[in-house]
Structure formats: C-alpha cells, structure tokens
Structure 1
Amino acid sequence: MTEARRPWWFIGLGVLAIGLLVGLGVWQLQRLQWKTALIQRVEAGLVAPPVSAPGPDAWAQVSFDTSEYRRIEVRGRYLPADDLLVKAVTSRGSGFWVMTPFETDDGWRLFINRGFVPDDRTSVADRPRPEGEHSVTGLLRLTQPGGAFLRDNDPAANRWFSRDTVAMSQSVGLGEVAPYFVDADEQGDDLPVGGLTVVSFPNKHFGYAMTWFGLAGVFAYLLYRATIQTKRSDEV
C-alpha cells in the first residue's frame, strides 16, 4: 500500500513545483510590462520641457511611478542654512553631493542637489552659492530615507550617505520640506557639477520569465518520465 501511494505524493509535489515556476514566470511578465511603461515614461520626461515643481497640495500624489526623474523647475532663493554633503560616487570619482535648502516664491521649501564636488574640494569656497532670485531646473528625485547599503545616515555627526530630505530638514531646523529634491542640471564646469544623474533601468524580466517557464517545462518532462517509469514498474 505504501508503494502504491508514493507516486501520487510525488506527482502532487511535482505539480505544485511546476505551478510555482509558472507563477514566477507570469509575475516576471507583469514586471516586464511595468518596467517597459516606466522606461517609456522616464525617457519621454527626460526630453520634455520642465514643468513647475509640485507644491504642497500635490505632494501626496508624488510617487516613483508617476514623478521620479520628471524634469521640473523651481524659482526662488537659496536659504542661508548650511549645505549638507552626501557621500557620492560618480563618473568623476568619489566625492559628495551638495544639498542646499531652497525656498520657492510660493513660500514652501525643498532641497536642491546643486551637484558634485570631489573629496578634496569640499570647502565653502569650492561650492559658491548663487545669491538672490534664482531659477533651478533639473530632475525630480524622491527622498531617500535611512542611508545607503550597510551605511546609515548619522545626522548628529553630519554624516550622510543618502539624500533623506526629512532628516536633513530636521538637522538644520528647516521645518516641512518637499518629499523630493531636485537634481540640478549642469551649469558649466564650475563646482558643484550638476547634471551627473545616471538614469538607467535594467530590463531583464523577459529573460527571467523564460528561465522560469523553461524550468517549469523541465520539471514537467521529468515528472512525466518518472510517472511513466513508475507505471511500467507496477505493471511488471
């Protein structure tokens, strides 16, 4: 009786494994659709004219799927609060992003990533701040809470590994700020150097889907062979 039951348990587990693999393949196809739509939106936004930065009334609708990497523009003035330097690695080497508080003409505040400075050029003189009324264009980037991989932000020590606008605002007493910052466009070769944002979305979901479907096919074939052999053994 035990020998008779064993093939059915084996078949049940095999069918479950095949179903799981097929489900993973379908999930990757869904991810492929999402990623393709995201890439198309971002590529269209990168070449589109900048739009006005979302104000407080629209902050609740700002999300990765709808707003990240959109070209925006703000007009106002840089605030006298200190710049915050965030560790960065760019095409120009290791250094820091210069995050500067900014107040718009409408009275709300946000951070501007004015650009990159290398490790040996971090003095205030190396990152002069524009004075007076100023217009900034660049890419909308969502706040990056917490820190980087295995490296937490330490506001008390003024060590930053991610551009966390809420924590940065609290550290300089800025009050409420936008849940995003602006990666400023390039403004010539002077420091800080803007326009270094890398916009790249690997899209390997189709390959992953085919891998899962292929494994499902292999499991189905092995299950079929095992079932046939079991039946033959029983007949003998």
Structure 2
Amino acid sequence: MKLHFKPMPWLTVSVAICLAILISLGTWQYQRLQWKTAYLADVDAAVSAPPLMSWAQLRSEIEQDKPVDFRRADIPAQAVIGAPAYFVYQPRKGGIYWRYFQQVTEEGRRFFAATESVPDADKTSFETPNQTAQMRLTGYVRKNEPMGFVESLVKSKASPAQNRYFKFDQTDAWGRDGAATDYYIDVVSVNGAASDLPVKRPEIRNNHLDYMLTWYSFAVILLIIYFILHYRAGRLKFS
C-alpha cells in the first residue's frame, strides 16, 4: 500500500500554529502539575510536623530546605518598641478588618508577627501594643510569596501614608531595618500550647492533569480533522 499526500499550504500552516499553541499549553499544565504535586507534598509534611519552638529553629529548618509554610509554631519573642508596624487588609465576613503586623525579636533576630485583627472603624484609634515583657507567638508559620505580574496589576495599591496594605510587605520596604520578611508568624488565640492547635491544611485544588489532557486532546482532534479534510479533498489517498 502506497500513501499519496498533498497538503493544503494555508491549512497546514494554520494547523501547525494551532498545534504549537495547544502542545505548549499542555506542556505548561504538565509543568504546573509537577510543581503543584511537590508543593502539596511539602504542605502535608509541614502541617504534620511538630511545632517549631524558636525562630532560630525555624531558620535552621529553612536552611535545610525543609518545608515550613503552614507549620505550627510556639515562639518566645519581644515586641520591638518604636519599630514600624503595618495594617494589612484581611478578607473576613461581617465587615472590613485589618491584620496588625508588628516587628518582634528573639535573641536579636527581628521578624514579623500578625498579632491583632482590627475592625476598620477602630483602625485610626488603635493603640499600638506596648509589650516589653516576653510574649509567646502561638500560631502558624506563613511564607511571603512574591507577587506575580498579573497579581501586581489587579491587586489594590498600597497607601503607606495611610498605613493601608493589601499584602504582606507589599512595597518591599518592611525589612529595610534588617527584619526578616521571607516568613512571618500568623498568631492565633489558643488555650494551651501550639500542639493543641488544629492542623491548618489549606484547600488547594490540583486539576492540572485534567487541563493537560484537555489541551493534548484538542491537539489530537485537530490533527484528525486536518487529515479528514485532506482525505475528503482527494489529497490523501491510499493505493
């Protein structure tokens, strides 16, 4: 059996361009699948690990490339009196709230902790906690994810003069005095130790396998239609 194939120039060019786009989208979703699968495994390892008991221990875990985002923590610290503090918008039912981020220190190491949720009506009259005694930061470690290009376009702009921010370290200026800004502690109210905190496992969907198969399926369907059109036009024959 001999194959006779005479491709249509305009259709071939169009299909080649569409195939390149579809295959690129499928490959991108495959890469996203690999990243998301690894990320979810890291989250599961972090939330299942025992609580961190010091900022030094947290930094040690980071240096060893161990996952710490969403890990429970119970860290002793002191407020840094006079250091800048910030209000970050907090999505919440029942009105507008702001998360109060203050700078704290543990044995000379400065970092940030979210310690209060302040209603919008009380924001202007909120008194900065003057905590000089030792306090415990019981809550969850959170990683400061840098904004992507699209997020930077759609997210509300910060107003430093009004102390209004819509993301942790939104202006990349919070750590100018040496405070760490790659991670912070999200403090929560709990009666007891950090081991009594519920595991905080975020709901993150991983549908990239379905997306990948969809784009690759479109590529296969396009090829089938391409050859059917040539067959019906008499440009694809078997003899």
TM-score, structure 2 as length reference: 0.72
* Contact 1:111/1:182 (<8 A) preserved: yes
* Contact 2:78/2:134 (<8 A) preserved: yes
Equivalent residue in structure 2 for 1:203, among 206, 221, 237 = 206
Q: Which has the higher contact order (CA 8 A, sep 6+)?
A: 2
**Partner Cα separation in structure 2 for residue 117 and residue 159 of structure 1:** 12
**Partner Cα separation in structure 1 for residue 159 and residue 179 of structure 2:** 19
* Contact 2:43/2:201 (<8 A) preserved: no
Superposed CA deviations along residues 91-111 of structure 1, whole A, max 9, x for unmatched, are 454210011110112x01011
Q: Which amino acid aligns with 1:220?
A: L
**Partner Cα separation in structure 2 for residue 216 and residue 88 of structure 1:** 43
- Say if 1:221 and 1:163 are closer, same or farther in 2 by CA, change over 3 A: same
How many matched pairs?
Answer: 219
The within-5 A match list for 1:99-114 is 99-105=101-107, 107-114=108-115
Corresponding residue for residue 136 of structure 2: 135
* Contact 2:43/2:67 (<8 A) preserved: no
* Contact 1:100/1:111 (<8 A) preserved: yes
Superposed CA deviations along residues 47-106 of structure 1, whole A, max 9, x for unmatched, are 32122435897698599x94433334432201223642112212454210011110112x
* Structure with the higher helix share, 1 or 2: 1
Q: Which amino acid aligns with 1:210?
A: L
Q: RMSD of the alignment, in Å?
A: 3.8
Provide structure 1 residue ranges, at least 5 long, that are not aligned to the other structure.
Answer: 189-193
The alignment status of 1:154 with 2:135, answered yes or no, reads no
Q: Which amino acid aligns with 2:220?
A: G
**Partner Cα separation in structure 1 for residue 88 and residue 101 of structure 2:** 7
Q: SS of the counterpart of 1:167? A: coil
Provide structure 2 residue ranges, at least 5 long, that are not aligned to the other structure.
Answer: 192-196
Corresponding residue for residue 220 of structure 1: 223
**Partner Cα separation in structure 2 for residue 75 and residue 228 of structure 1:** 75
- Say if 1:233 and 1:211 are closer, same or farther in 2 by CA, change over 3 A: closer
* Contact 1:28/1:205 (<8 A) preserved: yes
Equivalent residue in structure 2 for 1:86, among 85, 88, 102 = 88
